[in-house]
Amino acid sequence: MDTTVKTLPRSQDVLEAAARLKPYVVRTPVLRNDALDALAGAELFFKCEPLQTTGSFKIRGATNRLLQIPDAQKAGGVVAFSSGNHAQGVARAARLLGLPALIVMPADAPGVKVEGVRRDGAEIRLYDRDTESREEIAAEEAEKRGAVLVPSFDDPYIIAGQGSCGAEFAEQVSEAGASLEHLICCAGGGGLISGIALAFEALSPETKIWTAEPEAHDDWRRSLASGEVQANAPGTRSICDAILTPSPGVLTWGVGKRLLAGGCAVSDDQIREAVRLAFRHLKIVLEPGGAAALASALYDLPEAAKGQRVGVVLSGGNVDPAQFADILSSGQ
């Protein structure tokens, strides 16, 4: 059963979610690095979500959403669909809260993400992303099981939970005696960046927020430039499997069109180089989608952000070991 609430979240919802999630998530560190500052031509502050529980920010939204399920609906558990990070977030949140979970994942999902879901005891239903609809499969399973369908981004509780990352980020930079003039964050469906934008609306409203995407999959950049939702062509691919959604969500666009400044876009090769640089200088492992914001800061930084204090959200580190080794070795 789909109990998704279709109302736009508010900044206050994000702040409340941040307080609610403190027992369940890690307050991930913020790092600085002179070498990366020099490459970008800006003062960069890195929010390190690869060090989050399950290796990405997704545990935030998943836990916030599952905490809203009424007791009468818990027996049916939850169903989610995801290429990996949301899957792991829902699986871990379900285990922590004692709920059964089924995750619908593409057959070509990175093995490290599939293994992470299995470790948390969730059931997996694999599908062919070229011939089957994950949305239809998940809806059918949720109906059959009497389960709650947990969307990956277009849900106010998911958005508010992801936004707790932004609330932490703003607080941590303030504790360091600074404030961010700009912030760059990856954008797939937009749950993370819209939640972060809501957090900064309350805590640092002068900060300009920019999306980061692969250049061949830049629906957010084009949507923000035109003022209307734009979609990617079917079959569009990138190394950034974690952020390949067709277009912005209904709710995330409702927030983003009001609060986001614009978009950045980078090539897959630039993203690979960002993965290498993060490992070299920050000692952080990034998956390609998790490196999109760093790549944008280095190679497509908005003119207005040059020489400024810029927040960079490193969103996830669940990279397949073989892929990571290939990326590192190809840069030598």
Per-residue pLDDT tens for 184-195? 999 999 999 999
Per-residue pLDDT tens for 75-127? 999 999 987 889 999 999 999 999 999 999 989 887 888 888 999 999 999 99
pLDDT at 201 over 50: yes
Q: Where do the CATH 3.40.50.1100 domains begin and end in the chain?
A: 11-56+155-330, 59-149
Q: What's the predicted TM-score (pTM) here? A: 0.94
Looking at residue 173, its amino acid is V
Q: Using alpha carbons only, what angle is made at residue 69 by residues 68 and 70, rounded to the nearest 5 degrees?
A: 110
DSSP letter string, 284-320: ----TGGGHHHHHHHHS--GGGTTSEEEEEE-B----
* % of the chain at pLDDT higher than 90: 86
Q: Can you tell me the mean pLDDT for 18-45?
A: 98
Residue of 104, 55, 116 whose CA lies nearest to 78: 104
pLDDT confidence band for 1 (50 / 70 / 90) = very low
Task: Quote the distance between the C-alpha of residue 78 and its chain's center.
Answer: 20
pLDDT of amino acid 163: 98
**What fold, for 11-56+155-330?**
Rossmann fold (3.40.50)
Q: Which two tokens stand for residue 74?
A: 């818990």
CA distance 205 to 161: 19
Strand boundaries in the chain, DSSP class E: 30-31, 43-48, 78-81, 101-106, 123-127, 148-149, 182-186, 208-214, 260-266, 309-314
Residue of 205, 208, 164 whose CA lies nearest to 183: 208
pLDDT of amino acid 332: 59
**What fold, for 59-149?**
Rossmann fold (3.40.50)
Per-residue pLDDT tens for 251-260? 999 999 999 9
pLDDT of amino acid 3: 42
CA distance 192 to 130: 26
What lies within 8 Å, CB to CB, of 133 at 6+ separation is: none
